Chain A
Amino acid sequence: MVGVIKGVLKEELHNSLRMKKEYEQALKNLPQGCLAVRKIRGHKYYYLVKRIDKKVKYIYKGKISEEEKKKYSEAKELRVKYRKLLSQVKKQIRFLRSSLRGKEAI
């Protein structure tokens, strides 16, 4: 039974390591930055706020389509979710590694 549990833990560790890479890649693939809106004389103008090196830059986008707004808002939600799940995966990796390092009494 111990061998079976160890086998399952090894497989789960392998899966978690794969997932870590996937979430890191998925975060890289999301469009960078988020939209900020300024209202000037009743008109809405959009800026893309993103970090370039150590500085936060506001890049003027002007009036943008609903589709682009949706793209950035979805990316923002996914970024939060992926970061949370990536942190969960890292915890799993630590737990699985420590369980597998231990002696037979798992």
Chain B
Amino acid sequence: MEKKQYELCLEILRRFHKANILNDFVLIGSWCIFFYKDYFSSVSYINHATLKTRDMDFLISMPDKIKQTIDIPNLLKDLGFVTAFRGTYGYIKLDHPDLIVEFLVPAKGKGTDKPYSVPKLGINAEALRFLDFLSENTIKVKVEDFYLNLPHPANFALQKLIVSRRRSKEDKAIKDRNIALAILKALITKRETNNVRQVFRSMPGKWQTKVIRGLEDAKEKEILSILKK
């Protein structure tokens, strides 16, 4: 199951790379944690952070600047993906028993519940808050013969802490918080304390407060003291 799922994930990335659209995306969500494994190869990596779901979320940071015209549902059709329309507004999900591919864009202004149409890719995307923060500081990891964009782990972890406080379901909030803490601890072990602090200071004041509250709830004194220095 695991191997099949990984193979399918790789095939999607290969096809996006071949279609010249992989650079327009940042992989976020639980699959991004999986691809951090090389970044954290020097430190012991985290059990619960690798608990990944089938969701493979692609962030399109600049949907209006996409140059290629590719019908993504058609590109993945022969792999067995079916197009599903979720919710009242019809957000597109590409479903397969091993993976669920979704697209997200950063919410602008007051935000909207309606899907953001990306006609060049034949999809729509869900606009969510705090995603700009993920795309403004990214790293590239090598996968086979191409590179994959991921948010910098510090940005990813701090964003997860903010999001965890907005979750209505407690189990999801705990999962987000556990992931965030595991990544922050791995960054500290990797001696990237200054980097974490720098990313934290680049956040708006209200976001910083949310991060601090998240850490206070989790009683993470070590990380708190690093951020407050």
Contacts and interface: CB of A to CB of B under 8 A. Distances in A.
Interface in B168-197: 169-172, 174-175, 178
B53 A18 contact: no
Nearest to A21: B84
A6 B95 contact: no
B97 A88 contact: yes
Contact of A82 (B80, B171, B178): B80
A92 B53 CA distance: 13
B175 A8 contact: yes
Contact of B175 (A4, A78, A84): A4
Interface stretch (A9-17, A41-49, A56-64, A65-73): A9-17
Interface in A3-35: 3-8, 11-12, 15-16, 18-19, 22-23, 26
B97 A81 contact: no
B142 interface: no
Q: What class of interface size applies to chain A in its complex with B?
A: 20 to 34
Contact of A7 (B54, B82, B95, B169): B169
B37 to A, nearest CB: 20
B221 interface: no
B97 A85 contact: yes
B51 interface: yes
Contact of B170 (A3, A77, A82): A3
A81 B77 CA distance: 10
Contacts of A106: none
Nearest to B100: A15
A33 to B, nearest CB: 21
A4 B95 contact: no
Interface of B: 48, 51, 53-54, 77-78, 80, 82, 84, 95-97, 100, 169-172, 174-175, 178
Minimum-distance CB pairs A-B, first 3: A7-B171, A88-B97, A81-B80
Interface of A: 1, 3-8, 11-12, 15-16, 18-19, 22-23, 26, 77-78, 81-82, 84-85, 88-89, 92
